[in-house]
Amino acid sequence: MVIPVTNQAPRSRSAPTGTAASAFDLSGGRLCLDFANTLSKRLTSHPTELLASYGDLVAWSRQARLVTAREAGVLIREAKRRPIDAAAVLERGVALREAIYRIFSAVADERPAGGGDLATLNAALAEVLPLLGIVPKGDGFGWGWTGDEQRLDRILWPVTRSAAELLTSAERAAVRECDAQTCAWLFMDRSRNRSRRWCDMKGCGNRAKARRHYERKKRGHGGT
Protein backbone atom coordinates (compact mmCIF):
# COMPACT_ATOMS: atom_id res chain seq x y z
CA MET A 1 0.00 0.00 0.00
CA VAL A 2 1.46 3.32 -1.06
CA ILE A 3 0.25 6.52 0.53
CA PRO A 4 1.09 9.69 -1.42
CA VAL A 5 2.92 12.39 0.50
CA THR A 6 0.52 15.23 1.14
CA ASN A 7 2.45 17.41 3.53
CA GLN A 8 3.60 19.67 0.71
CA ALA A 9 0.02 20.79 0.06
CA PRO A 10 -0.70 24.49 0.60
CA ARG A 11 -1.63 25.20 4.18
CA SER A 12 -5.06 26.52 4.85
CA ARG A 13 -6.79 28.01 7.84
CA SER A 14 -10.10 26.49 6.92
CA ALA A 15 -11.09 22.86 7.11
CA PRO A 16 -11.61 20.94 3.91
CA THR A 17 -15.25 21.08 2.87
CA GLY A 18 -17.41 18.38 4.35
CA THR A 19 -15.55 17.81 7.61
CA ALA A 20 -16.59 18.77 11.08
CA ALA A 21 -13.01 19.46 12.11
CA SER A 22 -12.22 23.14 11.98
CA ALA A 23 -11.09 23.67 15.55
CA PHE A 24 -7.40 23.96 14.77
CA ASP A 25 -5.49 27.02 13.68
CA LEU A 26 -3.13 26.07 10.87
CA SER A 27 -1.37 29.41 10.52
CA GLY A 28 2.14 28.27 11.49
CA GLY A 29 3.26 28.10 7.86
CA ARG A 30 4.78 24.63 8.24
CA LEU A 31 3.17 21.36 9.20
CA CYS A 32 5.51 20.75 12.15
CA LEU A 33 4.81 24.24 13.55
CA ASP A 34 1.05 23.76 13.22
CA PHE A 35 1.49 20.52 15.14
CA ALA A 36 3.48 22.33 17.86
CA ASN A 37 0.60 24.82 18.08
CA THR A 38 -1.88 22.18 19.27
CA LEU A 39 -1.28 23.38 22.82
CA SER A 40 -2.87 26.76 23.49
CA LYS A 41 -1.92 29.26 26.20
CA ARG A 42 1.25 27.27 26.74
CA LEU A 43 2.79 29.79 29.12
CA THR A 44 -0.11 29.88 31.57
CA SER A 45 -0.74 27.56 34.50
CA HIS A 46 -3.67 26.05 32.55
CA PRO A 47 -2.65 25.39 28.95
CA THR A 48 -5.42 24.15 26.65
CA GLU A 49 -4.63 20.70 25.25
CA LEU A 50 -6.12 20.43 21.76
CA LEU A 51 -4.97 16.82 21.36
CA ALA A 52 -6.90 15.31 24.25
CA SER A 53 -7.77 12.06 22.46
CA TYR A 54 -6.67 9.98 19.48
CA GLY A 55 -9.81 11.30 17.74
CA ASP A 56 -8.44 14.83 18.13
CA LEU A 57 -5.20 13.73 16.48
CA VAL A 58 -7.19 12.34 13.54
CA ALA A 59 -9.31 15.52 13.38
CA TRP A 60 -6.13 17.63 13.26
CA SER A 61 -4.61 15.48 10.51
CA ARG A 62 -7.85 15.69 8.54
CA GLN A 63 -7.88 19.48 8.78
CA ALA A 64 -4.19 19.59 7.87
CA ARG A 65 -5.07 17.42 4.84
CA LEU A 66 -2.74 14.61 5.81
CA VAL A 67 -5.55 12.09 5.41
CA THR A 68 -8.74 11.93 3.39
CA ALA A 69 -12.16 11.52 5.04
CA ARG A 70 -12.06 7.83 4.13
CA GLU A 71 -8.58 7.38 5.62
CA ALA A 72 -9.64 9.23 8.78
CA GLY A 73 -12.58 6.82 9.06
CA VAL A 74 -10.20 3.86 8.77
CA LEU A 75 -8.04 5.26 11.58
CA ILE A 76 -11.02 5.95 13.87
CA ARG A 77 -12.36 2.41 13.35
CA GLU A 78 -8.91 0.97 13.96
CA ALA A 79 -8.50 3.07 17.12
CA LYS A 80 -11.83 1.78 18.45
CA ARG A 81 -10.64 -1.75 17.85
CA ARG A 82 -7.25 -1.11 19.53
CA PRO A 83 -7.79 1.61 22.16
CA ILE A 84 -4.60 0.86 24.08
CA ASP A 85 -2.49 1.21 20.92
CA ALA A 86 -4.32 4.43 20.02
CA ALA A 87 -3.62 5.87 23.48
CA ALA A 88 0.07 4.94 23.11
CA VAL A 89 0.26 6.70 19.71
CA LEU A 90 -1.36 9.80 21.21
CA GLU A 91 1.18 9.77 24.03
CA ARG A 92 4.04 9.43 21.53
CA GLY A 93 2.53 12.19 19.42
CA VAL A 94 2.32 14.60 22.34
CA ALA A 95 5.91 13.79 23.37
CA LEU A 96 7.02 14.43 19.78
CA ARG A 97 5.07 17.68 19.72
CA GLU A 98 6.72 18.87 22.91
CA ALA A 99 10.18 18.04 21.53
CA ILE A 100 9.34 19.85 18.27
CA TYR A 101 8.09 22.87 20.22
CA ARG A 102 11.21 23.09 22.37
CA ILE A 103 13.57 22.60 19.40
CA PHE A 104 11.97 25.35 17.30
CA SER A 105 11.46 27.62 20.29
CA ALA A 106 15.23 27.37 20.80
CA VAL A 107 15.81 28.00 17.08
CA ALA A 108 13.58 31.11 17.22
CA ASP A 109 15.52 32.30 20.24
CA GLU A 110 18.91 31.44 18.68
CA ARG A 111 19.68 29.00 21.48
CA PRO A 112 21.05 25.49 20.94
CA ALA A 113 18.38 22.77 20.86
CA GLY A 114 18.36 20.29 23.75
CA GLY A 115 20.07 16.95 23.17
CA GLY A 116 17.12 15.01 24.62
CA ASP A 117 14.70 16.73 22.24
CA LEU A 118 16.91 16.00 19.22
CA ALA A 119 17.09 12.38 20.41
CA THR A 120 13.26 12.24 20.50
CA LEU A 121 13.07 13.62 16.97
CA ASN A 122 15.80 11.25 15.76
CA ALA A 123 14.02 8.25 17.31
CA ALA A 124 10.84 9.27 15.44
CA LEU A 125 12.88 9.72 12.23
CA ALA A 126 14.38 6.25 12.60
CA GLU A 127 10.85 4.84 12.45
CA VAL A 128 9.69 7.07 9.65
CA LEU A 129 12.56 6.99 7.14
CA PRO A 130 12.19 3.29 6.20
CA LEU A 131 8.55 4.06 5.28
CA LEU A 132 9.52 6.63 2.64
CA GLY A 133 9.56 5.43 -0.94
CA ILE A 134 9.36 6.64 -4.52
CA VAL A 135 5.90 6.71 -6.08
CA PRO A 136 4.67 7.74 -9.54
CA LYS A 137 3.46 11.35 -9.47
CA GLY A 138 2.06 13.18 -12.50
CA ASP A 139 4.50 12.61 -15.34
CA GLY A 140 7.32 11.72 -12.96
CA PHE A 141 7.99 10.51 -9.46
CA GLY A 142 7.84 11.83 -5.94
CA TRP A 143 8.32 10.80 -2.34
CA GLY A 144 5.48 8.80 -0.83
CA TRP A 145 4.71 6.67 2.21
CA THR A 146 4.87 2.93 1.86
CA GLY A 147 3.43 2.08 5.30
CA ASP A 148 0.08 0.46 5.94
CA GLU A 149 -2.80 2.97 5.92
CA GLN A 150 -4.23 1.28 9.01
CA ARG A 151 -1.18 2.15 11.09
CA LEU A 152 -2.38 4.41 13.85
CA ASP A 153 0.87 6.39 13.93
CA ARG A 154 0.78 7.38 10.25
CA ILE A 155 -0.24 10.92 11.23
CA LEU A 156 3.14 11.35 12.92
CA TRP A 157 5.16 10.42 9.81
CA PRO A 158 4.70 13.63 7.79
CA VAL A 159 4.97 15.71 10.99
CA THR A 160 8.35 14.12 11.75
CA ARG A 161 9.51 14.63 8.20
CA SER A 162 8.38 18.25 8.21
CA ALA A 163 10.34 18.94 11.41
CA ALA A 164 13.50 17.32 10.03
CA GLU A 165 13.22 19.22 6.73
CA LEU A 166 12.63 22.61 8.34
CA LEU A 167 15.39 22.11 10.87
CA THR A 168 17.94 21.29 8.17
CA SER A 169 16.91 24.08 5.78
CA ALA A 170 17.97 27.73 5.75
CA GLU A 171 14.30 28.59 6.23
CA ARG A 172 14.60 27.78 9.91
CA ALA A 173 15.90 31.35 10.31
CA ALA A 174 12.30 32.51 9.69
CA VAL A 175 10.86 30.55 12.64
CA ARG A 176 9.41 32.83 15.33
CA GLU A 177 7.64 32.35 18.62
CA CYS A 178 4.63 34.53 19.38
CA ASP A 179 5.56 37.49 21.55
CA ALA A 180 2.29 37.49 23.50
CA GLN A 181 2.73 36.80 27.20
CA THR A 182 1.00 33.43 27.30
CA CYS A 183 0.83 32.10 23.73
CA ALA A 184 4.18 30.64 22.57
CA TRP A 185 2.77 29.52 19.22
CA LEU A 186 5.36 29.11 16.49
CA PHE A 187 5.14 30.51 12.96
CA MET A 188 7.17 31.32 9.86
CA ASP A 189 7.84 35.05 9.62
CA ARG A 190 7.25 35.91 5.96
CA SER A 191 7.11 39.67 6.53
CA ARG A 192 9.39 41.72 4.30
CA ASN A 193 11.63 43.04 7.06
CA ARG A 194 11.31 39.95 9.24
CA SER A 195 9.53 41.85 11.98
CA ARG A 196 6.34 39.86 12.63
CA ARG A 197 5.89 39.42 16.38
CA TRP A 198 2.57 37.68 16.88
CA CYS A 199 1.07 34.42 15.68
CA ASP A 200 -2.09 36.23 14.71
CA MET A 201 -2.72 39.98 14.43
CA LYS A 202 -6.43 39.56 15.20
CA GLY A 203 -5.81 37.61 18.40
CA CYS A 204 -2.45 38.00 20.12
CA GLY A 205 -1.45 41.11 18.14
CA ASN A 206 -4.62 42.96 19.06
CA ARG A 207 -4.44 41.99 22.71
CA ALA A 208 -0.82 43.17 22.92
CA LYS A 209 -1.73 46.50 21.28
CA ALA A 210 -4.70 46.98 23.61
CA ARG A 211 -2.49 46.27 26.63
CA ARG A 212 0.17 48.77 25.49
CA HIS A 213 -2.54 51.37 24.90
CA TYR A 214 -3.97 50.75 28.39
CA GLU A 215 -0.53 50.96 30.02
CA ARG A 216 0.30 54.19 28.17
CA LYS A 217 -2.99 55.69 29.29
CA LYS A 218 -2.39 54.61 32.86
CA ARG A 219 1.09 56.16 32.83
CA GLY A 220 -0.35 59.33 31.29
CA HIS A 221 -2.86 59.70 34.12
CA GLY A 222 -0.10 59.05 36.67
CA GLY A 223 1.39 62.44 35.69
CA THR A 224 4.97 61.25 35.24
What residues line the site for Zn ion (CB under 5 A)? 178, 180, 183, 185, 199, 204
Closest approach of Zn ion to the CB of residue 40, in Å: 9
Nearer to Zn ion, 105 or 160 (CB): 105
Nearer to Zn ion, 166 or 204 (CB): 204
Count of CA atoms in the C-beta half-sphere (13 A) of 201? 4
Closest approach of Zn ion to the CB of residue 143, in Å: 32
Nearer to Zn ion, 81 or 194 (CB): 194
Nearer to Zn ion, 25 or 149 (CB): 25
Closest approach of Zn ion to the CB of residue 178, in Å: 3
Closest approach of Zn ion to the CB of residue 110, in Å: 20
Closest approach of Zn ion to the CB of residue 106, in Å: 18
Nearer to Zn ion, 108 or 152 (CB): 108
